[in-house]
Amino acid sequence: MLLRLALRLGRVGAIAVGAIGVAAALAQPLAFAQLAGNTPAERAVFAQQMEILARQLTYLLPLPGQLGTMAGWIEWRAIGALEVILAFWAVMAASGAGRGDEERGLVEHWLAQGVSRGSYIGSRIGGFALLGTVVVTLTLAAAGVGSALGKEPVPASALALQGIALVGLVLCSYAIALFAAQLVTTRRGAAALGGGALLVLYLIDVVARSDGAESIRGISPFWLYDQNHPLTNGGTLDGPKTIALYATGVIFTAAAAFAFVRRDLGAPLLRRPPHDVESTTLPAGDPFLRLPVLAILDQQRTSLLAWAVVLPALGVFFLSFTRTLVDTMLATPSFRVYMERAGLGNYTSFIGVTWFGTLVLLLSMYAIVQTSGWAADDQEGRLEVIASQPISRARIVVERLVALLAGTAIIVTAAGVALAIGARAADIAIDTGQLALGSALALGVVFAFGGLGAAGVSWRPRTTVIVLGAVAIASYLLQEFTPLFEWPTWVADLSLYALYGNPLSGTVDWARSAALFGIGAAGSAIAVAAMRQRDIGR
Amino acid sequence: MPDVSETPPAIATLALTKDYGAHRGIFDLDLGIRQGEVFGFLGPNGAGKTTTIKLLMGMIHPTRGTATIFGLDCEREGVAVKRRVGYLPGETPNFGGWRGSEIVAYVAGLRGDVSETVISSLAKRLDLDLGRRYREYSHGNKQKLLLVLALMHRPPLLILDEPTGGLDPLHQQVFYELMREAREAGTTVFLSSHILSEVEHVCDRVGIVREGNLVTVGTLAELIGVRARRIEIAFEGDPPLARLRSVPGLDQLDVNDHRVTAMLRGGVEHLLEAIAGQRVVDLHSREPSLEEIFLSYYSAPTPRA
């Protein structure tokens, strides 16, 4: 009964992640069969090109190996990206099981029915383990089918070994996030702490991919997972590291279960010593809370600060290896062809395409997070309180969008300043005017996503968030793959980011930029009309 | 008190309907509430009380019909309406980790015409610490905070959806005091409830809603004393059941041996005719409690518009 409940509660996430996994695992082998060529020479060229891309994407994908083979391609491209996606799913599932259902009062209700705490947490862990195993199995089965359709089948035994490692990573990520959830009191806090912990562990693996972090890489479950290569020729499952992966998962699972059994409901495992909160009957003196737009930014100050620190830090990190990477690639004739085709022929254009391409993707995520918050305002009754005040519904929409753009302006300004300073330190010349223009035009991307999000959230809140995420990822991948596979230009133009262009290199298409702002304006207008027409309240 | 002959009604609805399908919603609601009146909207869960309130607040759009507040259309003049209304929603929202003081400041900022003195006074009377985080509040404290938000700008109309839910008896009394003071200050109050004692405490008039239909409206006196009374008759022999059942307005007939109890609406002449010729050894007639009135409407067949 409890297990069924756990499966029911986790089914939406499992279906979504399973669909992504199966689609990627099926499509990638088929793409390989079409694009890699048939002769050894064609395969060698393809592998070289992919190697270039892979070196740019080590922060997203594992180190490549045997990219001229179907097995190597599946390991790197089809399954590699799933590490991050599955870990993200694990964090969301664990924060929901560890805190979200407790916040909603469901856990209290179930425990009141006579369910023991051990049974409850055990069922949630068991339910996720089952779902995780099913998702990984289906994904790898899809990869097997894809490789067979591509006429280069990968042995099922090798896929099974890969599955053992991948399930270990998923369960370990879940266990860490579930333990983190015991240390805080809200789902948001659980997601932030669990996600933050896994991000740090992931970044250790990213550094380890460049032979760094030697002394601490063993603590990263992502690194432990990355050492397994059962698909490729000569590779195998690394037994000790896989055992270490599972052992880590078991330890954190046991710690999380123990913490849940021991702690009070609604309270963190470790309570701070009681302190006297200053009692008051007066409203807060914070003047920002009383001002339009600034009130919204004030409410989001912590997350906004995090965005305004993390994005500039990522920009500086990117700059730290730009010069070496570009020099190496341009020194190789076959790589130079690809670099020039992709518009990556010098440091500035490389930064413009690669960093700004990543920046607009991340800013899109920021807009999607805000959209998700608007949906939550409605579902959790805050919108009803706001709409019962003497303000128009149009103002609610406009204030949200202006706050989104103002928040984005703060983030891109911080990122731009950090990039300018970082470029100077790396001795890379960047035109500050172009940098400012690129940053300003990034607002258009956010406005487009925000406008679409505002329009959609009035209609289908949860679906809107998922669709916007899919649009962002598809847009990013279209931009990445079009030059690589020499697809027609119109394919890249399907990407929303094609409207952004590469302002840092001075290639601003004002009509396209205006189109971005036009999409935002149209979405905003639809959002205002929808907000006026719709019913509010749960 | 405002002169009701010259001022528009505080609330007026005409054939107001929100049809969710499957007989859910509110149907053809015709209601007029005078300024300065305290009106109780009574009904069990799912009867249509919250739907009506959301229609008045412009949160949801009517399928047909109109609603006005102080003569302003709730649909087209929503901002002006809300300037005059203090609203307490039926479900507590989730403000997460905000402090009570931050929520009050934020909402006061949206409203713009709020005195800190009033906020402080309300918080003190309700014994509400605004320094604590919302998620740390008990259900009762969340309700108190919502009451502060509804009352803090001293609106001429209060629309309160089950306002005492979660309040302990002590603070229910504070709430009743606040309602009495509001009435003395000329404030109109529209409150929904399924708690009869609450309505008896504070309301001048009551509307009873059942399965989306308004089944009756009247003053407490009208509902309790004039048209309905509880009848108890003890006969020496067998009661004349056939004749009693044909008496207009007599229902909830209950026979226990020679003793008959029933609810009688309207005059007693038909009842007296029915028992004429019978030897009556005891006869009691008393006003029913509001609870009995309420139940009498819910035991009757479903009215259909």
3-class SS letters over A20-31: HHHHHHHHHHHH
d(CA B5, CA B40): 22
pLDDT at residue number B2: 45
- Is ipTM over 0.85? no
Enumerate chain A positions whose Cβ falls within 8 A of a Cβ in B: 103, 185-186, 188, 277-286, 289-291, 295, 299, 380-382, 384-393, 533, 535-538
- Residue ranges of the alpha helices (H) in A150-186? 156-181
SS3 A518: helix
Confidence label for A66 from pLDDT (cuts 50, 70 and 90): confident
d(CA A519, CA A497): 12
- Count of CB atoms situated within 10 Å of the CB of B1: 11
Q: Are A426 and A348 in contact (CB under 8 A)?
A: no
Residue B23 structure tokens? 């007989």
Shortest alpha-carbon distance between residue A183 and chain B (Å)? 16
d(CA A260, CA A340): 56
Q: Which of A281, A389, A538 sits opposite B130 (nearest CB)?
A: A281
Secondary structure letter of residue A332 according to DSSP: S
Residue B292 structure tokens? 């009995």
Q: How long, in residues, is chain A? A: 538
Helix axes A117-149, A239-262, angle to 10 degrees: 150
pLDDT at residue number A54: 78
Best of A103, A185, A279, A385 to disrupt the B interface (most B CBs within 10 Å) is A385
**Numbers of helices and strands, H then E, in chain A:** 22, 0
User: Residue A460: how many CA atoms within 13 Å on its side-chain side?
Assistant: 6
pLDDT at residue number A211: 73
Q: Which 3-state string (H, E, C) describes chain B?
A: CCCCCCCCCCEEEEEEEEEEECCEEEEEEEEEECCCCEEEEECCCCCCHHHHHHHHCCCCCCCEEEEEECCEECCCCHHHHHHCEEEECCCCCCCCCCEHHHHHHHHHHHHCCCCHHHHHHHHHHCCCCCCCEHHHCCHHHHHHHHHHHHHCCCCCEEEEECCCCCCCHHHHHHHHHHHHHHHHCCCEEEEEECCHHHHHHHCCEEEEEECCEEEEEEEHHHHHHHCEEEEEEEECCCCCHHHHHCCCCEEEEEEECCEEEEEEECCCHHHHHHHCCCCEEEEEEECCCHHHHHHHHHHCCCCCC
Check A280 against B131: CB less than 8 A apart: yes
Bridge partners (DSSP) listed for residue B41: B192, B207
Return the H-helix or E-strand segment holding A155.
none
B58 neighbourhood in chain A, CB within 8 Å: 387
d(CA B207, CA A341): 76
- Count of CB atoms situated within 10 Å of the CB of A11: 13
Residue A75 structure tokens? 């390991």
Picking from B192, B164, B166, the residue whose alpha carbon sits closest to that of residue B178 is: B164
- Is B238 exposed, middle or buried (CB count within 10 Å of its CB: 0-12, 13-18, 19+)? exposed
d(CA A147, CA B85): 66
Secondary structure letter of residue A499 according to DSSP: G
d(CA B47, CA A139): 49
pLDDT at residue number B70: 95
Mean pLDDT on A208-231 = 88
Check A281 against B59: CB less than 8 A apart: no
SS3 A56: helix
Check B116 against A277: CB less than 8 A apart: no
A102 neighbourhood in chain B, CB within 8 Å: none
Q: Are B212 and B25 in contact (CB under 8 A)?
A: yes
- Which residues 135-194 of B are in CB contact (within 8 Å) with A? 135, 149
- Is A275 exposed, middle or buried (CB count within 10 Å of its CB: 0-12, 13-18, 19+)? exposed
User: Residue B156: how many CA atoms within 13 Å on its side-chain side?
Assistant: 17
Q: Which of B93, B102, B108 sits opposite A384 (nearest CB)?
A: B93
In the numeric block, the tokens 């258009």 are attached to: A444
Bridge partners (DSSP) listed for residue B283: B233
Mean pLDDT on A365-393 = 92
pLDDT at residue number B224: 63
pLDDT at residue number B289: 65
Torsion-angle region of residue B12: left (phi > 0), alpha (psi -120 to 50) or beta? beta
Q: Are B264 and B228 in contact (CB under 8 A)?
A: yes
Tens digits of pLDDT across chain B (305 residues): 444 456 889 999 999 999 998 889 999 999 999 999 999 998 888 889 999 999 999 999 999 999 999 999 999 999 999 999 999 999 999 898 889 999 999 999 999 889 999 999 999 999 999 999 898 899 999 999 999 999 999 999 999 999 988 899 899 999 999 999 999 999 999 999 877 777 877 898 999 898 899 988 988 777 665 556 788 999 998 899 899 989 888 888 899 889 999 988 777 888 999 998 889 999 988 766 666 666 666 665 544 43
Secondary structure letter of residue A182 according to DSSP: T
Best of B101, B121, B142 to disrupt the A interface (most A CBs within 10 Å) is B101
φ, ψ for residue B38, nearest 5 deg: -110, 115
Alpha carbon of residue A439 to chain centroid? 21
Confidence label for A282 from pLDDT (cuts 50, 70 and 90): very high
Check A185 against B135: CB less than 8 A apart: yes
- Is A359 exposed, middle or buried (CB count within 10 Å of its CB: 0-12, 13-18, 19+)? buried
pLDDT at residue number B173: 92
Percentage, residues of chain A above pLDDT 70: 97
- Give the DSSP letter string of B131-195: TSBGGGS-HHHHHHHHHHHHHTT--SEEEEESTTTT--HHHHHHHHHHHHHHHHTT-EEEEEES-
Check A290 against B102: CB less than 8 A apart: no
**Long-range pairs of B120-125 with CB within 8 A, sequence gap ≥ 24:** B120/A281, B120/A282, B122/B147, B122/B148, B122/B151, B122/B152, B122/B178, B123/A281, B123/A282, B123/B148, B124/A281, B125/B174, B125/B177, B125/B178
In terms of CA atoms, which chain A residue is nearest residue B55? A535
Alpha carbon of residue B68 to chain centroid? 18
pLDDT at residue number A332: 64
Torsion-angle region of residue B256: left (phi > 0), alpha (psi -120 to 50) or beta? beta
| Model pLDDT for residues A468-487, shown as the tens digit of each residue | 988 988 888 788 777 766 77
Shortest alpha-carbon distance between residue B210 and chain A (Å)? 21
pLDDT at residue number B304: 40
Picking from B127, B125, B118, the residue whose alpha carbon sits closest to that of residue B153 is: B118
Percentage, residues of chain A above pLDDT 90: 46
Helix axes A393-425, A510-533, angle to 10 degrees: 150
| Model pLDDT for residues A128-180, shown as the tens digit of each residue | 999 999 999 999 999 999 999 988 899 999 999 999 999 999 999 999 999 99
Check A389 against B120: CB less than 8 A apart: no
pLDDT at residue number B259: 93
Shortest alpha-carbon distance between residue A377 and chain B (Å)? 9
d(CA A124, CA B137): 28
pLDDT at residue number A333: 63
Residue A197 structure tokens? 């912990």
B110 neighbourhood in chain A, CB within 8 Å: 386, 389-391
Q: Which of B80, B85, B105 sits opposite A284 (nearest CB)?
A: B105
Q: Which of B79, B119, B123 sits opposite A392 (nearest CB)?
A: B79
Mean pLDDT on A328-337 = 67
- Count of CB atoms situated within 10 Å of the CB of B297: 16
d(CA B25, CA B60): 11
d(CA A370, CA A388): 22
CA angle A104, B144, A301 (to 5 degrees): 60
In the numeric block, the tokens 């891309």 are attached to: A53
| Model pLDDT for residues A405-451, shown as the tens digit of each residue | 999 999 999 999 999 998 888 888 888 888 999 899 999 999 999 99
Q: Is the pLDDT of residue A317 over 90?
A: no
A278 neighbourhood in chain B, CB within 8 Å: 131
